[in-house]
Amino acid sequence: MSVALIRPLTVRTVAVSDPADLLARLPGAGPYVWVRHGEGLVGWGVAARTSVPPGPGRFQWAREWLSSVFGDARIDDEVGMPGSGPVAFGSFAFDASSTGSTLVVPQVVLARSGGKAWLTTVGEPSSDTVAPLAAPLGIRYEDGTLTALQWQDRVAKAVRRIRGGDLDKVVLARDLMAVADREIDTRVLLSRLATRYPECYTFSVDGLVGATPELLVRHTGQSIESLVLAGTVARESNPADDAARGAALMASEKDRYEHVCAVVSVKEALAPLCAEMHVPDEPELLMLPNVQHLASRVTGRLSDGASVLDVVAAMHPTAAVGGTPTAKALGVIGELEGMDRGRYAGPVGWIDSRGDGEWGIALRCAEVSGDHARLFAGCGIMGGSDPVAELAEAQAKFRVMQYALEG
């Protein structure tokens, strides 16, 4: 389904004074958000939108739809930065055969980046008054597709498959259902996430809300950057214990191998698109409030002017959310998870009319609808994985969205 409320788009971008808190400017529920360290873009209203048909060509279809919408647009852009002019926010299902992928061009986008701020409007948007925030009340949790014990059993089966030589790694996800006493205002969740997890990319697209630590790709001109995360341990409140955990993570043969698999998958995906690429020899520790990750920042320069969606198409799914080898891992996911991930672990982000943009992997997130939220967490399973430890890691990852719901 495609809807263009204003066609051709008449777009105007003007510089504005610093809005300080982008999230505080959102008028109501259902916003479009991509924010990190207080910078990024927020949007509301709908100028054009489409449901991307499932299938192996979905990213190409999305690019062609955007080319049609942006190509016809009448653009007056006095800022000329990535994210100025018309912008589409999007999120894609993890599985190419699943429905739910969507692209939306908001009617209003407010942005701040690099010491500048700007406002983009499409047509003549109505003046929206900011509605009061309403925190979720009475949060209750229910089992998702599998109970904790059932999921541990699936992890054990995956470990046996890996030890038997079927594959090297598979990422298994689980879901958790939350129910509130009233409709969940996603703006409250976004504000809590952005405040507690400033290092992450806080996002919102059509009810998919979260704060992902994983940057799939940043595309600026011909330059691209990707942050690869694989290998995780929960934080400790005692600084000495926390440091010891980080050191153990860096020394862990299992986690280091998992990280190498993820880095290699990104390198192989980017190589055909890049004239230059830099891959660090050693990972770093990324410290978040709830977990520590092994992290590698991969950079490169594109050789053929590909848009950010072309890069997303080449990279998804990475080993960090699928496994190694990819085809085998996806088959095992289909056998053992017992659920449709929806847009969890799929690409989420934004793209402008120049093809620039930022896209992450939808992790530490929930699908919010009315008074319900479906939370997700996943773990990289290797031959040395312990089902009890993997469950503990998944629980640590759930805590991100549980904090957003409960405060």
Q: Could you tell me which residues come within 8 angstroms of residue 393 by beta carbon, excluding any fewer than 6 positions away?
A: 232, 233, 234, 291, 377, 379
Angle CA 240–245–248, to nearest 5: 125
> Are 169 and 323 spatial neighbours (Cβ–Cβ below 8 Å)?
yes
Confidence of residue 327 (pLDDT cuts 50, 70, 90): very high
User: Could you tell me the fold of the domain covering 2-406?
Assistant: Anthranilate synthase (3.60.120)
Distances (CA, A) of 360 to 7, 35, 258, 316: 29, 11, 19, 10
Confidence of residue 5 (pLDDT cuts 50, 70, 90): low
245-265 pLDDT per residue, tens: 999 999 999 899 889 988 998
**Which two structure tokens, joined as six digits, stand for 371?**
């008074």
The conformation of residue 316, written as its DSSP 8-state character, comes to P
105-126 pLDDT per residue, tens: 999 999 999 999 999 999 987 7
- Average pLDDT value for the chain: 94
44-81 pLDDT per residue, tens: 999 999 999 999 999 999 999 999 999 989 999 999 99
- Structural element, H or E, at residue 3: strand 2-4
* Residue recorded with tokens 């020899």: 281
Q: Give me the amino acid identity at 288.
A: L
Q: What's the mean pLDDT in 17-30?
A: 92
Name the packing angle between helices 326-336 and 148-163 (round to 10°).
Answer: 150
Q: Could you tell me which residues come within 8 angstroms of residue 282 by beta carbon, excluding any fewer than 6 positions away?
A: none
* Residue recorded with tokens 């994985």: 385
Distances (CA, A) of 182 to 123, 176, 186, 375: 34, 18, 12, 17
Distances (CA, A) of 106 to 74, 211, 295: 15, 21, 33
- pTM for this predicted structure: 0.94
**Which two structure tokens, joined as six digits, stand for 293?**
């990750």
Q: Which residues are catalytic?
A: 169, 214
**Which two structure tokens, joined as six digits, stand for 226?**
């990707």
Q: Give me the amino acid identity at 22.
A: L
- The dihedral over CA atoms of 55, 59, 64, 70, expressed in degrees to the nearest 10, equals 140
